[in-house]
């Protein structure tokens, strides 16, 4: 009669079982979409604090934080950009939501 590996080495079954469960858990965890947010998330209450003609750049930075970037050539514009990225399992990252808020001072 032929004997299997597990019959010859009873400890082998326990070792294989103890390695199989964590390996299966890691494999399944890798199949989850990843969502990440980048940039400034600005809500309506923060925007309500801005007064056209009264709010200066310093005040704006106190309310919203540093801008993502400022306009060129002294245009007086500041840009706040936020983006939510989704990375599906085995896929490439893509932007699901991108918000650009432009404020001209």
For residue range 29-62, list pLDDT tens digits in order.
666 778 888 888 888 999 999 998 899 999 999 9
21 has pLDDT over 90: no
Quote the CA–CA distance of 3 and 78 in Å, as a whole number: 75
Of 82, 85, 83, 80, nearest to 101 by C-alpha is 80
Quote the CA–CA distance of 77 and 41 in Å, as a whole number: 18
Minimum mean pLDDT range among 23-27, 31-35, 74-78: 23-27
What is residue 30's predicted lDDT score, i.e. its pLDDT?
Answer: 64
Domain ranges of the chain: 1-31, 33-104
């Amino acid at each position: 009669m032929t004997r299997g590996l597990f019959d010859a080495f009873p400890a082998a079954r326990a070792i294989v079982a103890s390695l199989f469960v964590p390996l299966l858990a890691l494999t399944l965890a890798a199949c989850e979409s990843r969502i990440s947010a980048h940039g400034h998330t600005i809500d309506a209450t923060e925007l309500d604090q801005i007064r056209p003609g009264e709010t200066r750049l310093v005040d704006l930075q106190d309310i919203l934080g540093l801008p993502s970037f400022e306009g060129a050539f002294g245009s007086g514009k500041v840009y706040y950009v936020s983006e939510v990225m989704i990375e599906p399992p085995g896929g490439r990252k893509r932007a699901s939501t991108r918000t650009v808020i432009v404020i001209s001072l």
